[in-house]
Copies of this chain bind each other. A is one copy, B any other.
Amino acid sequence: MAGVTERAGDTAGKAATIRDVAACAGTSIATVSYVLNNKSRYLRPELRERVLAAAQELGYVKNAAARSLKGLQRGILAVLVPQFGNNFFTRMCVEIEAVAQRAGFVVTICNSDENPVQERAIIERLLSQRIDGCILSPALSRTESAALLERARVPYVILERTMGTAVPDHDFVGHDNFQSGYIAAQALLDAGHRRIAFLGWDSPIANINDREQGYRAALAEAGVAIEPGWVLTGSLSEDEGRRLADRLPVGQVTAAVLATHHTMAKGVLMSLQDRGLRWPQDLSLVLIGTPEWVDLVRPGLACVERPEREMGHAAAALLLEKLKRPDYRQAKLVLPTRFIPGGSIRPIKIPETSGANA
C-alpha cells in the first residue's frame, strides 16, 4: 500500500503561484484570484490585462489541490471497473471520459481486477485524493466499497452491477440482464431450437444469474424443459470455454448454446474450428455481448447488444447532476438490450409442436 515516496522531486513545486503573479503584475493576490476566476467584481480593465499578461508570462496554472482545501470542487471524477481489459467496460469508460471532459473534469480510471481487496485499497486511495464523485462497478458485486463512499459522503453511481437491496436507495445505471438472457434464448427458440445450453461463468454477480433466469423463463414459456447438463459454468477464460465446448450437444439437430461472455464464446468457436465442426450446421450460437469480431467471423454471429455508450453517458450525466444537486436521486436506470441477428443461428423446420401448450 505504501510506496509513494515522501519528498516530491526537486523538480516539482517550483510552479508559479498566485503570489508570483501578483508580484509580477504589481497588485495583490486577491485581485489576481478575482481576475483568474472571472468573479463578478469590477476591476480596472487595465489591471485585469496586466494580471492576465503576468499569468501568461509565468506560465501560471492554478493549483486545484489548494483550491479544494477551501471546500471547492477538485475537478476529479473516478471510475472503478472490475475488468479494464474488457471492451465492454472500455467502451463505457470512453464515453464517461468524454462527458466528464466536457464538464471540465479529469477522470481517474482504476481497475480492481475482480479483486475486492484491491478494490478496497483503491477506494481508500481515491478517498484520500478527495475525488468529487465516483462511478463504481463493484468487483464481485460486493457492497463494502459503496459503504465506504457513502460514509465519506462522496456522490457515486453504481454501474452495471447492482447491489440489490443490500445498499438501499443507491443510484444505479445498468442494462436488463434478464431481458438479454430472455431474448437470446427466444431467438434460438424461434428458429426452432430445443436443446439449448446456457454457458455462464463462475461469479457471484447477479448479472449472470439474471441472464440465466431470462433463459429459463424463455424456455419455460416455450414449454421446453431444461435438462441436466444444459447449464454450464466455469472460470472466465478462453481455455475454459474450449473445455466446456466438449460438453455441448454438438451435432444434434436443434442443438444450440447461449454464451454469456465473449471470452467463453471465443473458446467455444475455436474449439469447434479445431474439431472441424461448423456453425450453425453443427451448433447454433448466440452471444450476449458485442466484441470487435462479431461481424468478422463467418457466417456471422447472432448476439445481444448492450447499450454501452448510453450506459456510460447516463452514468456520467447522472453523477454530474448529483454533484450539482446533492439531494438528487433518480430511479434506477435499466436500459434495454437489443438482439442482433446473425448467421450463427440455424433455422429449423419447426416440428409441429409450434404454438403448442394451448
Contacts and interface: CB of A to CB of B under 8 A. Distances in A.
Interface of A: 1-15, 59, 61-66, 68-69, 71-76, 84-85, 87, 90-91, 93-94, 97-98, 101-111, 118, 121-122, 124-130, 132, 151-155, 266, 269-270, 273, 291-293, 295-298, 322-326
Given A62-B128, A90-B85, A111-B94, A73 B3 contact: no
Given A2-B104, A66-B69, A293-B293, 15 more contacts: A6-B72, A8-B72, A11-B155, A12-B132, A15-B130, A59-B151, A65-B69, A76-B108, A84-B93, A84-B94, A106-B125, A107-B109, A269-B296, A273-B298, A293-B296
A64 B130 contact: yes
Contact of A106 (B118, B129, B270): B129
A110 B129 contact: no
The 5 closest A-B CB pairs, nearest first, are A3-B104, A293-B293, A9-B326, A65-B65, A4-B104
28 contacts: A4-B73, A4-B104, A5-B324, A6-B72, A9-B323, A11-B153, A11-B155, A11-B326, A12-B154, A15-B153, A59-B151, A61-B124, A61-B128, A63-B69, A63-B128, A65-B66, A65-B130, A66-B69, A75-B128, A94-B111, A97-B109, A97-B110, A101-B118, A106-B108, A106-B122, A107-B108, A107-B109, A109-B109
Taking the full assembly, how many copies of this chain does it contain? 2
A84 B64 contact: no
A66 B130 CA distance: 10
B13 A71 contact: yes
A266 B6 CA distance: 48
Contact of A132 (B8, B59, B132): B8
Contacts of A322: 9
A125 B152 contact: no
Contacts of A10: 326
A59 to B, nearest CB: 5
A108 B108 contact: yes
Contacts of A64: 65, 128-130
B155 A75 contact: no
B91 A85 contact: yes
A106 B97 contact: no
A293 B270 CA distance: 11
B61 A102 contact: no
B74 A129 contact: yes
Contacts of A129: 64-65, 74-76, 106
A74 B65 contact: yes
Nearest to A63: B130
A127 B85 contact: no
Interface centre among A66, A104, A296 (most CB of B within 10 A): A296
B153 A7 contact: no
A153 B14 contact: yes
A84 B328 CA distance: 31
Contacts of A98: 111
B59 A152 contact: yes
A114 to B, nearest CB: 13
